[in-house]
Amino acid sequence: MAPGSEVPYGAVEDGVIAARDGRIIYAGPRSEAPAFKAAQTVDCEERWITPGLIDCHTHLVYGGDRAHEFELRLQGATYEEIARAGGGILSSVKATRAASEDELFASADRRLRELTREGVTTVEIKSGYGLDTESETKVLRVARRIGRERDVTARTTFLGAHAVPPEYKGRSGDYAALVAGPMLDAVAAEGLADAVDVFCEGIAFSPEETRLVFEAAKAKGLAIKIHAEQLSNLGGAKLAAEMGALSADHLEHLDEAGVAAMAKAGTAAVVLPGAFYFLRETVKPPIDLLRKHGVPIALATDANPGTSPLTSPLMTLNMACTLFRLTPEEALAGMTRNAAKALGLQDETGTLEAGKACDLAIWEIERPAELAYRIGFNPLHTRIRNGQ
């Protein structure tokens, strides 16, 4: 997986990876490897080694589930009817507020195991189902605890501006001011977030409200990310790119001006085929325009109870190919190299290069396209994080 390589996948046929103190010190052809005095040597027996997978967009921490809502929708209820009856995202908010930190940790941990058993070594976790200061900080403390207590690198993102909570019904501007002010203060004071995200959409927050939250985030030195152009085109991705966002995510309705702004700013595109599939959307993200402008394309599970109850990174690779027509090589880059970019971790992980963390997934496959091609198949042999 050497970057910029002409060989498909940057593959090295007879390769060696050497690590010291959890970091790669050499990755490349055996014939060019320097002589090492290795304390331990592992023969991978012709298996394929990729970087550990990176799930760069999840909402892993929430209370309850929405299985009943799924049944209602199959009986003909619409998302709006369910929401008006107090269901939808607000039912997840109610359950999240009612749950203890230990309960939230236990359910998120089960979902995390689904990700790691398919080779994930880095995960991003957003808040966004608390929607008040106490509950948002509770969710982020759980997310931080996952990074401390589990064998995974976790990045946390404050998504207080995910939806307007019932207490602020009809007053999204007041709620956005709370998020940008006292809520963000509380999150930053405890060091609970690496980045700040906003759901910029007709049913959520306007571009003006989004800008307000981003300005506050930047003033605190936090990275910014956006949920944009999922259901309509409000120009959120362009706004976020111009403000230096790490990534813009979803992007089904993104136009070429937005793509160009992202290319100029180096903002990664994160596409989320699970939500597209589950909502039975028909408008696809503009993959050809992203390719044409050279925007790095990442992909992620978007694991969440409402629109993407998906915790399989391998299924996500398949969906990106079948639904969005990514090549298997692009899909794999989307969950490794480009996912690292979407998290600002490109110097840390995402490729097999000297200097980076020794995060590896070792697969029982004949060729890398199998990872995206097969469905319901988990060929992970071994997962290694920081050389362990």
Residues near Fe ion (CB under 5 A): 302
158, 199, 324, 363: residue in contact with ligand DI6 (rule CB under 6 A): 199
* Beta carbon of residue 230, minimum distance to ligand DI6 (angstroms, whole number): 6
58, 92, 349, 351: residue in contact with ligand DI6 (rule CB under 6 A): 92
**Quick one: 209 or 359, whose CB is closer to Fe ion?**
209
* Under rule CB under 6 A, residue 89 binds ligand DI6: yes
Q: Which stretch binds ligand DI6 (CB under 6 A): 209-217, 300-308, 316-324, 338-346?
A: 300-308
Angstrom distance (rounded) from CA 93 to CA 381: 38
Helices within the chain (DSSP H only): 67-74, 79-84, 89-98, 101-116, 133-149, 172-178, 184-189, 207-219, 236-242, 256-265, 273-278, 287-292, 313-324, 328-334, 337-342, 370-373
The residues near 170 (Cβ < 8 Å, ≥ 6 apart) are none
* Under rule CB under 6 A, residue 305 binds ligand DI6: yes
Angstrom distance (rounded) from CA 158 to CA 126: 6
Angstrom distance (rounded) from CA 24 to CA 357: 6
The residues near 3 (Cβ < 8 Å, ≥ 6 apart) are 10, 337, 351, 353
* Beta carbon of residue 301, minimum distance to ligand DI6 (angstroms, whole number): 13
The answer to whether the beta carbons of residues 158 and 127 sit under 8 Å apart is yes
* Beta carbon of residue 244, minimum distance to Fe ion (angstroms, whole number): 20
* Under rule CB under 6 A, residue 175 binds ligand DI6: no
Can you tell me whether residue 387 is helix, strand or coil? coil
* Beta carbon of residue 241, minimum distance to Fe ion (angstroms, whole number): 18
96, 107, 301, 307: residue in contact with ligand DI6 (rule CB under 6 A): 307
Q: State how beta strands 360-363 and 48-51 pair.
A: antiparallel
The answer to whether the beta carbons of residues 229 and 251 sit under 8 Å apart is yes
Which residues inside 123-162 make contact with ligand DI6, applying CB under 6 A?
A: 162
* Under rule CB under 6 A, residue 228 binds ligand DI6: no
CB-based closest residue to ligand DI6? 306
* Under rule CB under 6 A, residue 275 binds ligand DI6: yes
Q: What are phi and psi of 86, to 5 degrees?
A: 85, 10
Q: Which stretch binds ligand DI6 (CB under 6 A): 136-144, 147-155, 238-246, 303-311?
A: 303-311
Q: Which stretch binds ligand DI6 (CB under 6 A): 172-180, 262-270, 298-306, 310-318?
A: 298-306
Q: Which option in ligand DI6, Fe ion, none does residue 12 bind, with CB closer than 5 to 8 A by kind?
A: none
* Under rule CB under 6 A, residue 258 binds ligand DI6: no
Sign of CA dihedral 30, 33, 34, 38: negative
Angstrom distance (rounded) from CA 44 to CA 30: 13
**Which residues contact ligand DI6 (rule: CB under 6 A)?**
88-89, 92, 162, 199, 227, 230, 275, 304-307
